[in-house]
A and B are shown apart, each in its own frame.
Chain A
């Protein structure tokens, strides 16, 4: 079973700053990795799939990179609505999520 480890657990930033979130897989997942944004009381929102492809309607300030075991989600300039919890996810065998990174003001 693949384990996804996200870091840091919490990222404290201000609007306008750059956010860099990391996701490390215990084994290679090739490029089959997604990033989601989740806010309380809302459905999780797919941001990035196949490691670097933005989902429909996702602003260009969100970008994903990496392959194999090391992946990064970058938010180039934080907007107030970007403060949320972010999860990475893969499916090599069954479906696995990382434990999340909270981006807080």
Chain B
């Protein structure tokens, strides 16, 4: 069973930065693409970013140029560096595994998320 522990959330002013981290267990981390998905109060679930199995990275238009995704297969961790934060980035951020490995279509969630609040 996949298990994730997300951390690093907090309260930050607009324009500030945060780095989220996800510790994964229960599966062979290096064999899967990994993503961040957020739940915003008004908009529901929103895909944020994906780090593919071959080093490819993808970002939603809303965060492109501000967020950077990292992974460390040796530690089974996935990070999200968030810069130039805006009020609309306020959300609960979830880490997720993508499956099946060959097409990476669907999300396997397994953690409670970490809360990011951007406010002055």
The majority secondary structure among interface residues of chain B is: strand
Q: Within residues 22 to 47 of chain A, which ones have a CB less than 8 A from any CB in chain B? A: 32, 34, 36, 38, 41-46
B60 and A44 within 8 A (CB): no
B interface residues, tally (CB under 8 Å): 24
Q: Within residues 9 to 65 of chain A, which ones have a CB less than 8 A from any CB in chain B? A: 32, 34, 36, 38, 41-46, 49
* Bound-state Cα–Cα, A96 to B114, Å: 21
Which of B13-21, B37-45, B72-80, B81-89 faces chain A?
Answer: B37-45
Residues of B participating in the A interface, judged by any CB pair closer than 8 Å: 4, 35, 37, 39, 43-47, 50, 58, 60, 94, 103-113
Residues of A participating in the B interface, judged by any CB pair closer than 8 Å: 32, 34, 36, 38, 41-46, 49, 85, 87, 89-91, 94-100
